[in-house]
């Protein structure tokens, strides 16, 4: 049997970065390489598995019980964030971590410092897996993928374990908000499901941000700078002016817990024209709508100042807070709490300051809380995960299988 660590390292070696500018599904064909691998590995384990035209791997393991129990599913996404390269990942494995700073060998002077990321010191003595500083690691969410596959491998090699119908799915494009747009819940076949896509060990989440993206285009007017007086309109400066209108205290670096934010994520332009993007997040639906209205007011102000058509704003909703769909089935949250306690993990129920495929799945009729996958510092070059965290997450999956079989 392949070890969990071997499996994880094999998965992160595959570049699966998604592309928010692509209109295809999946957004990048390179995601299919890992999806095809997973389909084939599931089949080799004895599960029924297929990869459909939209890039969804769905697999099932029939019940081996003589009575009906709920069918449960486990879901993870294969794509990595567009925020940092996921190509040619070179993981560093630090065994028996001593609790100190960890140099990232791929970039001279780059170090995962405990003063910047103090959470890592709680994992002294564990096996820590980091990047080498040149790419992200991909624990978001290949840790979740590996944990689910590890649990499936264990179940298929131990037929004495009693279980109801088990469903597994791996999805593309979660990082760009399109992970389950074409996901067929009925074909998946689960009554309830869990995404293995959280962070630190113990995290359990059934409420998340309402989310939208915003694209802003500034049309300037370029004139030779020697003759620009009264004529030039510098799109870069107008873009800066637009952003300065937004409330500083609603930037993500000043928010926590249930506080939402407006976050500028990219900017590219010239004197003639400039394009930049935001993500909009809030747990409260009224505050969420108010943030969108704030961007609209900024647009109106700039257009009134510089002329109609100077600013074009496009807002797209991405996902909604799943609490209203999961809370009526709160027993699945309670089952996850029990499964963690059985694994020696202290559960921490908290809101997701982000989103998962489970949010959209919950609104498609599949209640789907989110369970920790064990990684930290996602989407960047300081990402890390511990082997022990992944082992505990995989144990939680097996415990949930047992709990639902007993019910």
The per-residue pLDDT for 366 is 98
Question: Cβ-count burial of 159 within 10 angstroms (0-12 exposed, 13-18 middle, 19+ buried)?
Answer: exposed
Of 298, 319, 340, at which residue does a domain stop?
A: 319
Of 291, 319, 347, at which residue does a domain stop?
A: 319
State how far the Cα of 312 lies from the Cα of 13, in Å rounded to an integer. 40
Task: Tell me the three state secondary structure of residue 75.
Answer: strand
Same domain, 120 and 189: yes
Q: pLDDT grade, residue 306 (50/70/90)?
A: very high
Same domain, 166 and 81: yes
Domain count, the chain: 2
Query: Closest Cα to residue 261, out of 241, 276, 246?
Result: 246
Q: Indicate which CATH number applies to the domain containing 271.
A: 3.30.70.360
Instruction: Choose, from 15, 41, 174, 207, the residue flagged as catalytic.
Output: 174
Same domain, 143 and 291: no
Q: What is the pTM of this model?
A: 0.86
Chain position carrying tokens 């993206």: 213
107-134 confidence digits (pLDDT tens): 999 999 999 999 999 999 999 999 999 9
Same domain, 333 and 279: no
State how far the Cα of 27 lies from the Cα of 172, in Å rounded to an integer. 8
Same domain, 359 and 215: no
129-144 confidence digits (pLDDT tens): 999 999 999 999 999 9
Q: Indicate which CATH number applies to the domain containing 201.
A: 3.40.630.10
Section 12-21 average pLDDT: 96
Same domain, 118 and 259: no
Q: pLDDT grade, residue 305 (50/70/90)?
A: very high
Same domain, 244 and 275: yes
Q: What is the CA radius of gyration of the chain?
A: 23
Give the dihedral of Cα atoms 232, 236, 241, 246; nearest 10 deg. 150
Query: Closest Cα to residue 407, out of 72, 145, 143, 123?
Result: 72
- Asked if residues 223 and 232 have their Cβ atoms less than 8 Å apart, the reply is yes
Task: Give the range of the structural domain holding residue 225, as residue numbers without chain letter.
Answer: 210-319
The per-residue pLDDT for 66 is 92
Query: Closest Cα to residue 13, out of 174, 146, 137?
Result: 137
Of all residues in the chain, the percent with pLDDT exceeding 90 is: 96
Same domain, 175 and 53: yes
Of all residues in the chain, the percent with pLDDT exceeding 70 is: 100
Of 262, 289, 319, at which residue does a domain stop?
A: 319
The per-residue pLDDT for 354 is 80
The per-residue pLDDT for 124 is 98
Same domain, 293 and 224: yes
Has 406 been annotated as catalytic? no
The per-residue pLDDT for 355 is 77
Has 174 been annotated as catalytic? yes
Same domain, 41 and 157: yes
263-284 confidence digits (pLDDT tens): 999 999 999 999 999 999 999 9
The per-residue pLDDT for 374 is 97
Same domain, 308 and 344: no
Instruction: Choose, from 79, 140, 175, 197, the residue flagged as catalytic.
Output: 79
Same domain, 315 and 367: no
**105 token code pair:** 């060998």
Least confidently predicted of 29-33, 37-41, 352-356: 352-356
């Amino acid at each position: 049997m392949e070890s969990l660590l071997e499996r994880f390292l094999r998965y992160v070696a595959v570049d699966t970065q998604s592309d928010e500018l692509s209109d295809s599904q999946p957004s990048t064909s390179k995601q299919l390489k890992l999806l095809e691998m997973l389909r084939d590995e599931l089949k080799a384990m004895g599960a029924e598995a297929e990869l459909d035209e939209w890039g969804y791997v769905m697999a099932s393991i029939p019940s081996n019980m003589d009575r009906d129990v709920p069918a449960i599913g486990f879901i993870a996404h294969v794509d990595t964030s567009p925020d940092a390269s996921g190509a040619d990942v070179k993981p560093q494995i630090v065994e028996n971590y001593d609790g100190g700073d960890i140099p990232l060998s791929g970039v001279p002077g780059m170090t995962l410092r405990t003063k910047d990321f103090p959470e890592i010191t709680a994992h002294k003595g564990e096996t820590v897996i980091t990047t080498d500083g040149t790419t992200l690691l991909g624990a978001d969410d290949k840790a979740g993928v590996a944990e689910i596959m590890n649990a499936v491998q264990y179940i298929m090699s131990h037929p004495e374990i009693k279980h109801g119908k088990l469903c597994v799915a791996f999805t593309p494009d979660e990082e760009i908000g399109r992970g389950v747009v074409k996901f067929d819940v009925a074909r998946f076949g689960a009554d309830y499901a869990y995404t293995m896509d959280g962070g630190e060990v113990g995290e359990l989440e059934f409420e998340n941000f309402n989310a939208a993206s915003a694209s802003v285009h500034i049309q300037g007017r370029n004139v030779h700078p020697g003759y620009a007086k009264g004529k030039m309109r510098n799109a870069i400066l107008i873009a800066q002016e637009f952003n300065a209108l937004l409330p500083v205290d609603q930037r993500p670096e000043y928010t926590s817990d249930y506080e939402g934010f407006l976050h500028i994520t990219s900017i590219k332009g010239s004197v003639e024209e400039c394009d930049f993007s935001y993500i909009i997040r809030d747990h409260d639906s009224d505050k969420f709508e108010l943030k969108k209205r704030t961007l609209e007011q900024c647009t109106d102000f700039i257009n009134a100042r510089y002329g109609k058509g100077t600013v074009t704003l496009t807002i797209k909703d991405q996902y909604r807070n799943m609490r209203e769909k999961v809370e009526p089935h709160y027993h699945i949250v309670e089952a996850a709490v029990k499964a963690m306690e059985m694994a020696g993990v202290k559960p921490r129920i908290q809101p997701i300051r982000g989103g998962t495929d489970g949010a959209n799945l919950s609104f498609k009729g599949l209640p789907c809380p989110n369970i920790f996958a064990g990684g930290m510092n996602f989407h960047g070059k300081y990402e890390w995960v511990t082997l022990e965290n992944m082992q505990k997450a995989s144990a939680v999956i097996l415990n949930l299988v047992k709990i639902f079989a007993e019910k």
